[in-house]
Chain A
Amino acid sequence: MRVIGLKHVASWRTVAAAVAAQVIVPAMGSAPAAAQSMTPMRGEVKSFNDRFAVRVFPGNPYKHRIRVEVRVYDEAFNEVAADVVPRETMIGAEDRRSVLVMVPFGAAKDRKIRVCAESVPFNSQSARMKTQVCGRFYAQRVQ
């Protein structure tokens, strides 16, 4: 698991404050229960900033802890450069974690992205099963 340095934490706080002030994420309203692999899985975001944020909650449905990585993809499943805090995390049995994802708009006025929680629960066999639960989000830049 990657250890987040103090500098990283500080920047996260700054960005989180900015996000709270400038971004609307309607899907954040309901608190998901435990044992869910990721919530929310759909959402629309309006942002006054040059980037937008989504908070997702990867969950661990297993009886043992797993390592979960959160990645961001576009519609064609090309990976998108985004700030994900934390990008990689250990989640205890039947627990969930809050992960903040921030994506730049670039020159676009809107963006469709996939936020995917990925995990590899078993390593022992010749054909491992990697699970990937992806939420689809549509973001609009409000000017």
Chain B
Amino acid sequence: MKAVARKSAVAVALSLATLFAALPASAQLANVPFTGAVTSTCILTVGIPGVLSPDAGFTSLASTNPGGLAGTVTVLSTGGSFSVSADAPSAFTTAPAGGDTGVDFFARYQGSGSTTIGDTPGTTPTPVNAGVTLLSVNLRAEKSSGTFPAGAYLTEVVVRCE
């Protein structure tokens, strides 16, 4: 019995050795390296342009008046130390005669998302965290004397990331 068992064991060992010898020798693990880099940058994307609407007395045109609409800008920051601000214009790009005289402009903004920003004067820069921040920008044009005459008005707020 012992001799038979020994012969069987030898036979199995030889069979296994033959089997493994027939397999390809290249079945090994290899690591494939991947590298990547994200540049530190800031992306501004305008969502909705603002709409100015007059108040009841026609002494102000503002996005916060009934019928007005705040402009929205999406800020995507990948890091770094970037700040956002919103510069009010100094004049209308387009206005009817008399509409652009004695007008003061005030821009304000607030933010939500990766950075929460309360109602802030446009000239005050606010640092933004990495991620996406949605800015809501309001503009107000006030006439120091008289009222805004009828016509089309156009101006622009500069939203800056630096």
Given known pairs A121-B46, A131-B73, A133-B162, the reply for A126 and B41 (CB within 8 Å) is no
Residues 87-143 of A at the B interface (beta carbon under 8 Å): 114, 116, 118, 120-122, 124-136
8 Å CB interface, A16-68 against B: 30, 32-33, 35-42, 59, 61-62
Number of A interface residues at 8 Å Cβ cutoff, please give it: 33
**How far is the CB of B88 from the nearest CB of chain A, in Å?**
10
Interface size class of B (residues with CB under 8 A): 35 or more
> Is B80 located at the chain interface by the 8 A CB criterion?
yes
B104 CB → nearest A CB, Å = 15
The verdict on B111 contacting chain A, using a C-beta distance below 8 Å, is no
Given A125-B49, A125-B51, A126-B153, are A42 and B43 also a contact pair (CB < 8 Å)? no
Contact call B41/A32, Cβ cutoff below 8 A: yes
Are B40 and A41 neighbours in the complex by a CB distance under 8 Å?
yes
* B161 lies within 8 A of chain A by Cβ: yes
Q: How far is the CA of A40 from the CA of B50 in the complex (A)?
A: 30
Residue ID in chain B nearest A62 by CB atoms: B45
Q: Are A131 and B156 in contact (CB under 8 A)?
A: no
A19 to B143, CA, bound (A): 50
Q: With an 8 A cutoff between CB atoms, is B120 at the interface? A: no
Which B residues contact A (CB, under 8 angstroms)? Answer: 37-46, 49-52, 61, 63, 71, 73, 76, 80, 82, 93, 137, 139, 152-162
By Cβ-Cβ distance, the 4 closest A-B pairs, closest first, are A127-B50, A125-B49, A134-B162, A128-B156
- Residue ranges of A at the interface with B (Cβ–Cβ < 8 Å): 30, 32-33, 35-42, 59, 61-62, 114, 116, 118, 120-122, 124-136
